[in-house]
Amino acid sequence: MAEELKYWFNQKTREVEKGPKSLAVNRLGPFESFEEAARAEKLIFERARRLREEDAKDWDED
């Protein structure tokens, strides 16, 4: 299964898992590499910040 080749960040244990090993409610992912999964919270925060900025621009243009 393709998900088994991906990496996940477990928010409860604060550890990276290879393949989905824990409950979905506790994990973020999938990520392509161990390094990406280890930075999962920072990556998601940055993506959310960019989306908020894009939304703000869309509202400013109206």
pLDDT tens per residue, range 25-42: 999 999 999 999 999 999
Which token pair is 54? 């894009």
pLDDT band at 8 (very low <50, low <70, confident <90, very high): very high
| Burial of 8: CB neighbours in 10 Å, binned 0-12, 13-18, 19+ | buried
3-class state of residue 58 by DSSP: helix
pTM given for the model: 0.76
